[in-house]
Amino acid sequence: MATTDVVFVFIFLPVSLLTLAFRPNLLKYVLLLLSLFYYACGSPKYFVLLLGMLVLNVGLAYIIGMMKEKGWEKRWSLLALVAGIGLNTGVLFYYKYFDFVTVGINQVFGTTIGARDLLLPMGISFFTFKAISLLIDVYRGTVILKKNPVYGALYLSFFGQIVSGPICRYHEFYEKTKGKSNKKAVWDMFSDGGYLFVKGFIKKVLFANILSLIVVEIFAMDLEQTSAPLLWLGAISYSLQLYYDFSGYSDMAIGIGQMFGISCPKNFDYPYITKSISEFWRRWHITLGAWFRDYIYIPLGGSRVNSRARLYFNLFVVWILTGIWHGANWTFIFWGVGYFAAIAFEKTFGLPEKLTSKWSRALYRIAALAFINFQWVIFNSVNLITGLRYIKHMLIGYGYELANARTWILLKEYGVVLAFAILFAVPIIPRLKEYIASKGERKDRIAKAIMALVMVLLFICALSFVIAGQNNPFLYGNF
């Protein structure tokens, strides 16, 4: 039951919102029950696994907190923390990476270890990272758990974020709502959440789903019967599809949380206006980048180390783990190593800060976007060889005439959507809002009314697509 499904939009979410009429002290209990029901519908085979992981993680978090509160020797709380991290990563490894590793071992050593061919539990990667962050934050003393274990269980299982994040922290999930008890503040948060939900729904259905029609067709073609323009169209369309798909989901997830008074930081900040590859990752999947920074990169020493070798090692560890986190395939490992090499290159030569001319900075920005686009090709390919061949044909395509003709047909059919997707991938709307607001309150009110009407019409249009059965699963649901 994805957040763009008819059942979710017309039944589950409205019924869930009715719980806002409950007394505030009961709301957490009802939301936990709804979250468990949501998971049971989406991944019934692993519902018991979820319950077990909730009990173990919340229990361990309380044990670690109790040990620190009572002044036990640090080694005991550290042992509990290591056990918790080992438990979570072990479950993640078994379901997500076991087959990948056993195939590799069989190929190298000629063994015949049997593959499990397991179905991936819903949201396991995001659940694992939230659970580990909870345990580490309690161990560090940066988080003090509420006495009621329902708070910890709801944080880990909240239906708005369990499938594909964002990976918000325990203190972000609860503490930012303090002091927002007056009716106006509550209504503002609810209306902002509703706006984000509608915005994300439109992104997913009217942009990501339509762009996927281009992507699926082009990436499935025989590369010998394509042309460079057609492959560039496919690559650019995928870059935009992934952005609108995942940022759309993130907007919807954050919006759902806000409607219930739950906060979460933004997960995307117009990544394709980046000036460098490093900056791109400060704008793309922000909560994942912050997780790796706080729990891997900084504990390793971060950038404040005595040698270049140590800096490169720290970056390598972060990016190899980032690649592995995304999936059990050599494409993701290569993708992670590619970003390690590019970011290490930028840090070594001080790019793009050391570029002095406007033209050199512009050229570097174009080169960075091209690199990111090539990386998405690898990311979307069934294997590494196919991805590299796709990039090769992008650069030295054979110019197959039928492929060139198909390029024009696709542009005629989907060109308007593609053009708007490119336009809205830059912050034109926020800047337009700021400009209109500077022109006076009356014009600002008129502009907001027009924007609300446009959003309603687009939302109705998107709903009609979903009702007609034109809907795809979220791409990051696979990770």
Task: At 396, list the tokens.
Answer: 């030295």
As to burial, measured by CB atoms within 10 angstroms (0-12 exposed, 13-18 middle, 19+ buried), residue 249 is: buried
326 in catalytic set = yes
Task: At 355, list the tokens.
Answer: 């570029």
Alpha carbon of 428 to those of 265, 269, 420, 432: distances in Å? Answer: 21, 13, 11, 6
Strands (E), 120-230: none
Letter string b/e over residues 388-414, b meaning 16 or more CB atoms within 10 A of that residue's CB: bebbebbeebeebeebbebbeebeeeb
Cβ contacts of 331 within 8 Å, gap of 6 or more: 378, 379, 381, 382, 383, 384, 387
3-state secondary structure at position 166: coil
Q: What gap in Å lies between CA 50 and CA 122, rounded to an integer?
A: 9
Closest CA to 218 of 12, 409, 472: 409
Closest CA to 264 of 207, 325, 192: 192
Q: What gap in Å lies between CA 206 and CA 157, rounded to an integer?
A: 29
Alpha carbon of 115 to those of 44, 110, 119, 144: distances in Å? Answer: 22, 14, 12, 42
Task: At 62, list the tokens.
Answer: 């309380």
Query: Is residue 277 within 8 Å of residue 342, measured between CB atoms?
Result: yes
Residues marked active site are found at 326
